[in-house]
Amino acid sequence: MTPSASSVRFTGWGSYIPEVIVKNSDFAQHDFYNPDQSKLDAPAEVVVRKFKAITGIEERRYVSNDLDASDIGAIAAKRAIEKSGIDPETLDMIIVAHNFGNVRSGTIQTDILPGLSARIKHTLGIHNPDCIAYDILFGCPGWLQGVIQAYQYIKGGFAQKILVVGTETLSRVLDIYDRDSMIFADGAGATVIEASEGSGGILSTAARTYSVDEAMYLSLGASHLPEADPNIRYIKMKGRKIYEFALSKVPEAMKMCLDKSGVSIDQIKKVLIHQANEKMDEAIIHRFYELFGMKKAPDGVMPMSIHKLGNSSVGTIPTLFDMIARGELVNHQFNPGDHIMLASVGAGMHINAVLYRF
């Protein structure tokens, strides 16, 4: 056990954005069905147009057939390690968040033997047996929960350097007859987190799990297509329930996190929310500021990537962070001393938040 760090900082970040672009127009010829397996009355092009108005998504990214979740996670991890400048052999831990493991192209079977963390460690060529690699399943907030765990390990003196990866290929577990399938995408992001001297870094965290009435808001279920094999399961979600839940509970967790830090609401420069739905995220951010007596969120405080990248689950926040940190998102940047709130919500239902000083 080593002495606890005075601060815990991100020292490297990287991401992998898949090259295959799938536009909304690509869904315009689909046949969509309701959960009761009746066909939607509206033409597909009308469904797609309404979908864009609600979610803000114009296009999304899918991985090519030759790549799996562990592959793109390793690419993002390598970029984060290179950015940090560390020797990967000095990593104490590799924490990998995902929800479906590797699902090879053309199949629907989850492959987590071995886990994705072991595969990524193997791909990175790390020999050190004291570098412990493990996976976490925490819904869309998985990467952020990995960050929280890394923070706790380092503050407790149990580690000095930890790699946290979020990677997902949701395109391979979608029911194409369900209009909700248009939300999901693929992607991976990674961050090297280290003990550091001085102030800044992670200032506070919050996490909650609601699993009474909320546990099955996101689950696996049969295809909406009447003649589909009922034994093959796909992502299913109760959109309205999730929206109402997130609008109520996520701002509370964000406030809890901010209150712990002692930082005032007007010091926050950016809020990075899990990229699930544009309208939902806008409602969450405004509700968060309302909890502090403000009528609305400041202009430009909430950068978004969902319009072009869709919802890649555990990949949305780390890829968004990487894009901003590298200056690739127009009109958004991180400056030294900036306070950044990160928050997510997803299957479980889990919620978490982190306040970070850049």
Does one domain contain both 23 and 154? yes
Residue 60 sits in the same domain as residue 168: yes
Tell me the DSSP string of 21-61.
EEEGGGGTT---B-TTSPBPSS-HHHHHHHHHHHH--SEEE
Q: Is position 285 within any domain?
A: yes
Q: Quick one: which of 107, 85, 98 has its CA closest to 188?
A: 98
- Looking at the structure, do residues 278 and 192 belong to the same domain, yes or no? no
Using the 3D structure, point to which of 199, 223, 249 is the last residue of a domain. Answer: 199
pTM of the entire predicted model:
0.94
CA–CA separation, 11 vs 303, rounded Å? 21
For 20-69, what is each residue's pLDDT tens digit? Answer: 999 998 988 888 888 889 888 888 888 888 889 889 999 999 999 999 99
Give the count of domains, the chain.
Answer: 2
d(CA 80, CA 133): 16
* CA neighbor of 15 nearest in space, from 186, 154, 135, 141: 186
Do residue 161 and residue 274 come from a single domain? no
**Residue 121: inside a domain, yes or no?**
yes
In percent, the amount of the chain with pLDDT more than 90 equals 77
- Segments forming the whole domain that contains residue 212: 203-357
C-alpha to C-alpha distances, 58 to 23, 45, 189, 310, 320, nearest whole angstrom: 6, 13, 21, 8, 17
For residues 128 and 12, membership in a common domain is answered with: yes
Same domain, 167 and 295: no
CATH code for the domain in which residue 113 is found: 3.40.47.10
One domain, residues 232 and 141: no
Q: DSSP states of 80-134 as a string?
A: HHHHHT--GGG-SEEEEE-SS-B--TT----B-SS-HHHHHHHHHT---TTSEEE
pLDDT in 10s for each residue of the chain, 358 residues: 565 668 999 999 999 999 999 999 898 888 888 888 988 888 888 888 888 988 999 999 999 999 999 999 999 999 999 999 999 999 999 999 999 999 998 887 888 999 999 999 999 999 999 999 999 999 999 999 999 999 999 999 999 999 999 999 999 999 889 889 999 999 999 999 999 987 889 999 999 999 999 999 999 999 899 888 888 889 999 989 999 999 999 999 999 999 999 999 999 999 999 999 999 999 999 999 999 999 889 999 999 999 999 999 999 999 999 999 999 988 899 999 999 999 999 998 999 999 999 9
Q: How many of the other CB atoms lie within 10 Å of CB of 195?
A: 23
Indicate whether 120 and 50 sit together in one domain. Answer: yes
Q: Which residue, 134, 166, 199, sits at the end of a domain? A: 199
Residues 317 and 250 in one domain: yes
Expressed in percent and rounded to 5, the helix, strand and coil fractions of the chain are 35, 25, 40
Q: From CA 54, how far away is CA 310, in angstroms rounded? A: 13
Answer yes or no: do 207 and 190 share one domain: no
1, part of any domain: no
Q: What is the pLDDT of residue 6?
A: 82
Residues 78 and 194 in one domain: yes
Please check whether residues 227 and 268 belong to one and the same domain. yes
